[in-house]
Structure 1
Amino acid sequence: MIEQEETLIRQVLEGQNESFRTLIDRYYAYLYRVVNGVLHHPKDAEDVTQEAFVKIYAALPQYQFLGLKTWMTRIAVNAAIDYKRKRDRRQQETTYSEELIQTAISEEEPLDVALMRKERGAILARYLSELPPNYRQVIVAYYMDGKSYQQIAEEQKVELKTVESRLYRARGWMKKHWKEDDFL
């Protein structure tokens, strides 16, 4: 059987796509069970199994003939895990959006204003994560938490001049790396 699989793979690599159909027929039910074991949702498992075969086809040139079933299983499981992460993230975003809508309604804030505020917050968080850590600490403390230079120096156990220097350098770093248009 291993020789048959190697022959089929070589044929696929030579452009004989009907040989890949033989591999699909041989392994579809097995990979479907593996994927459904991760996702616990038959319809999603069907979609992800098909996606896994597309990934397997694309990755065949890198296959090293060291256990086809194991190799295909790894690709299918990774596809299932990726799908599950995306699905969970989407559900989390949906929940967050619903909370945002409820907050906007309860505060009588227009929904578009609430959505823009959320989007700006996400952009700001992404940009802040790009800052070097020592700059991020003083920027957040000074601009977002509203702390004085003295308070920051005491909290971070550094000299007042160090806080001033870090803020100065952080502003320079931001001017160099960020565009004003990014925040409008």
Structure 2
Amino acid sequence: MKKSRYRSYSDNELVEQMFQGDRNSFAELYDRYFAVIYSFVRKMLRDSDQAEDVTQEIFLAFYENGTQTPVKSVRSYLYQSARYAIVDLFRKQKHQNNYLAGLQDYYHKGAWTTDDMLIERELQHRIEQEVDGLPPKMRKIFELSRRQYLSNKEIADQLSLSEGTVRQQIHNAIVRLRSRLTCYIWLQVMVLLWWIGKML
């Protein structure tokens, strides 16, 4: 079935076929709603790159978990998911900022010991190892985004890729790194967040 035929289907028809494993149906829903959901998230976050990451996660969750929740209106479902994602992000950022403030106070009071610095260096080394272990294409895109601070469009132009491919590769890299690094104990994870905060 040609992709153009999917454009004539209603949202409910596409959802039904998507839940049966039809990826083209999901692709059509993605094309219909990505721009409006991204625009909504970007307006709330005021950060284009972060909005892209959040929007990608919303659609990924929709595709992977949609069968567990009845979807009467795709638009309403995605907007509601976006609201939940934004609230969750703000909550996490608040906790992280509180921790970083406490960590800074901890450092200025002279409690930052040699052992703590060794832990930080060890984590930095581990992060570098995990980034180096990414597939070559994914690693290149991730480094251009997070280390050279290029926009998705600049990366796409430089590597002759679509912006959608760049967004997906960055998202996949973040998911992979997050999965690999969550095995650390609580203190190590907190120091990791502090280090990432310095890099951003």
TM-score, L = length of structure 2: 0.50
Asked if residue 18 in structure 1 is aligned to residue 24 in structure 2, the reply is yes
Q: Take 1:88 and 1:52, find their aligned partners in 2: how far apart are those partners? A: 21
User: CA 1:110/1:37 → structure 2, altered by over 3 Å: closer, same or farther?
Assistant: closer
Mapping 1:89-128, distance limit 5 Å: 89-104=95-110, 109=111, 111=113
Which one has more relative contact order, counting CA pairs under 8 Å at least 6 apart?
2
Matching residue of 1:71:
77
Is the contact between residue 8 and residue 19 of structure 1 (CA under 8 Å) also seen in structure 2? yes
Q: Please, which runs of 5 or more residues in structure 1 have no aligned partner?
A: 116-184
Query: Helix, strand or coil: the match of 2:10?
Result: helix
What is the CA-CA distance between 1:2 and the residue it aligns to? 10
Q: CA deviation at 1:44?
A: 0.8
Pairing 1:5-44 to 2, within 5 Å after superposition: 5-44=11-50
- Counterpart amino acid of residue 76 in structure 1: A
Asked if structure 2 preserves the Cα contact closer than 8 Å seen for 1:8 and 1:20, the reply is yes
Moved over 6 A (4+): none
Change in Cα spacing, 1:36 to 1:98, as seen in structure 2 (3 Å) is same
Cα drift, residue 65 of structure 1: 4.0
Partner of 1:15, secondary structure, is coil
Aligned length, in residue pairs? 111
Q: 2 CA distance for matches of 1:2 and 1:67? A: 17
Query: What is the alpha-carbon root mean square deviation over aligned residues?
Result: 2.5
Deviation at 1:98, TM superposition (A): 0.7
Larger radius of gyration: 1
Percentage of pairs with the same residue:
25
Which residue matches 1:61?
67
TM norm structure 1: 0.53
Distance 1:110 1:96 in 2: 12
Q: In structure 2, do the counterparts of structure 1 residues 2 and 87 end up closer, same or farther at CA, with 3 Å as the change threshold?
A: farther
**1:59 Cα offset (Å):** 2.8
Question: Distance between the aligned counterparts of 1:57 and 1:48, measured in 2?
Answer: 14
Q: 1 CA distance for matches of 2:18 and 2:112?
A: 57
